[in-house]
Amino acid sequence: MVELAIRNARTAEAPADPLEVPALTPGAMADSKPYPASAEHQEKIGFPGELVEDWKERAIDKLGDLVGKSRGLRVYLDSCVKCGACTDKCHYFLGSGDPKNMPVARQDLLRSVYRRYFTFSGKYFPKLVGATDLTEEVLDDWYSYFHQCSQCRRCSVYCPYGIDTAEISMAAREILDTVGRGQKYCNEIIGKVQTIGNNLGLQEKALRATLEDLEEDLEDETGLEIKLPLNVKGADILLVTPSADFFAEPHVDGLLGYAKVFHQMGESWTISSYASEAANFGMFIGSYENMRELALRIRKAAEELGVKRIIFGECGHAWRAAYAFLNTLAGPFDFLDQHYPIPQHICEYTYDLIEKDALTFDKSKNDHIRLTYHDSCNVARGSRMGDTPGGQFEIPRAILRAVCNHYFDMPADTIKEATLCCGGGGGLLTDELMDIRRKGAQPRMRALQQVADEHGVTHLAAICAICKTQFAKLLPEHGFEMDSIVSIHQLVSNAIVLDGQISDDDDDDEDDEDDEDDEDDEDGDA
Amino acid sequence: MAYQYNGTTVEHDEEGYITDISLWSRELADIIAKDENIEMTDEHWEVVNFLRDYYEEYQIAPAVRVLIKSIKKSMGKDKGNNKYMYHLFPYGPAKQACKIAGLPKPTGCV
Amino acid sequence: MLTITYALLFYLATLVLIVGVAHRIWQFARTPAPLKIPTAPAPVTQGGVVLRLLREAVLFESLFKANKWIWLFGWVFHFGLLLVLLRHLRYFTDPVWSWVVLIQPFGVYAGFAMVVGLAGLWARRLLVPRIRYISGPSDHLMLALLLAIGLSGLGMKYVFPTDIVALKAFVLGLMYFDWQPLPPDPILLLHLGLVALLMIVFPISKLVHAPGLFFSPGRNQVDNPRERRHLAPWAAKLETGGRS
Q: What is the mean pLDDT of chain C?
A: 95
Contact across the interface for B58 and A209, Cβ inside 8 Å: yes
Predicted local confidence at residue A300, as pLDDT: 98
pTM for this predicted structure: 0.93
At A2, the pLDDT band (50, 70, 90 cuts) reads: very low
Asked if A202 has any chain B CB less than 8 Å from its own CB, the reply is yes
Rg (CA), chain C: 22
Residue of A150, A207, A525 to mutate, testing the B interface (most B Cβ within 10 Å of its Cβ) = A525
Tell me the chain C residues in contact with residue A80 when contact means C-beta distances shorter than 8 Å.
206, 209
C93: left (phi over 0), alpha (psi -120 to 50) or beta: beta
Write the pLDDT tens digit of every residue in A450-487. Answer: 999 999 999 999 999 999 999 999 999 999 999 999 99
Contact across the interface for A201 and B107, Cβ inside 8 Å: yes
**What percent of chain A stands above pLDDT 70?**
93
State which H helix or E strand residue A351 sits in: helix A346-355
Predicted local confidence at residue B94, as pLDDT: 86
Asked if A201 has any chain B CB less than 8 Å from its own CB, the reply is yes
Residues 6+ apart with CB under 8 A from C73: C116, C117, C118, C120, C121, C124
Asked if A190 has any chain B CB less than 8 Å from its own CB, the reply is no
Q: In what order do the strands lie in the sheet with A459-462?
A: A371-373, A459-462, A485-487
Asked if A68 has any chain C CB less than 8 Å from its own CB, the reply is yes
Predicted local confidence at residue A4, as pLDDT: 43
Res C115 pLDDT > 90: yes
Enumerate the domain spans of chain B: 2-100
Res A519 pLDDT > 50: no
Residue of C23, C27, C28, C35 to mutate, testing the A interface (most A Cβ within 10 Å of its Cβ) = C35
CA–CA separation, C235 and C223 (whole Å):
20
Asked if A210 has any chain B CB less than 8 Å from its own CB, the reply is yes
Res A513 pLDDT > 70: no
From the list A89, A64, A69, the residue with the least C-alpha distance to A165 is A89
DSSP reduced 3-state for A520: helix
Tell me the chain C residues in contact with residue A72 when contact means C-beta distances shorter than 8 Å.
33, 37, 216-218
Residue A50 or residue C1, greater confidence: A50
Q: Sign of dihedral through CA atoms A299, A302, A308, A311? A: negative
Asked if A381 has any chain C CB less than 8 Å from its own CB, the reply is yes
Active site residues of B: 109
Tell me the chain A residues in contact with residue B92 when contact means C-beta distances shorter than 8 Å.
473, 525-526
Q: Is the Cβ–Cβ distance between A193 and A276 less than 8 Å? A: no
In total, the C-beta contacts within 8 angstroms joining chain A to chain C are: 220
Tell me the chain C residues in contact with residue A67 when contact means C-beta distances shorter than 8 Å.
31
Contact across the interface for A70 and C68, Cβ inside 8 Å: no
C to B contact (≥3 Cβ pairs closer than 8 Å): no
At A382, the pLDDT band (50, 70, 90 cuts) reads: very high
Q: Is the Cβ–Cβ distance between A345 and A311 less than 8 Å? A: yes
Neighbours of chain C (3+ CB pairs under 8 A): A
Asked if A74 has any chain C CB less than 8 Å from its own CB, the reply is yes
Contact across the interface for A432 and B82, Cβ inside 8 Å: no
Chain A, nearest residue to B89 by Cα: A525
Q: Is the Cβ–Cβ distance between A94 and A25 less than 8 Å? A: no
Q: Is the Cβ–Cβ distance between A88 and A105 less than 8 Å? A: no
Contact across the interface for B68 and A521, Cβ inside 8 Å: yes
Q: What CATH number was assigned to the domain covering residues B2-100? A: 1.10.10.370
Contact across the interface for C40 and A119, Cβ inside 8 Å: no
Q: Which of C31-40, C76-85, C102-111 has the lowest mean pLDDT?
A: C102-111
At A502, the pLDDT band (50, 70, 90 cuts) reads: confident
Predicted local confidence at residue C241, as pLDDT: 67
Residues 6+ apart with CB under 8 A from A330: A292, A295, A296, A298, A299
Neighbours of chain B (3+ CB pairs under 8 A): A
Q: Which of A14-28, A38-52, A403-417 has the lowest mean pLDDT?
A: A14-28
Predicted local confidence at residue A13, as pLDDT: 52
Write the pLDDT tens digit of every residue in A153-172. Answer: 999 999 999 999 999 999 99
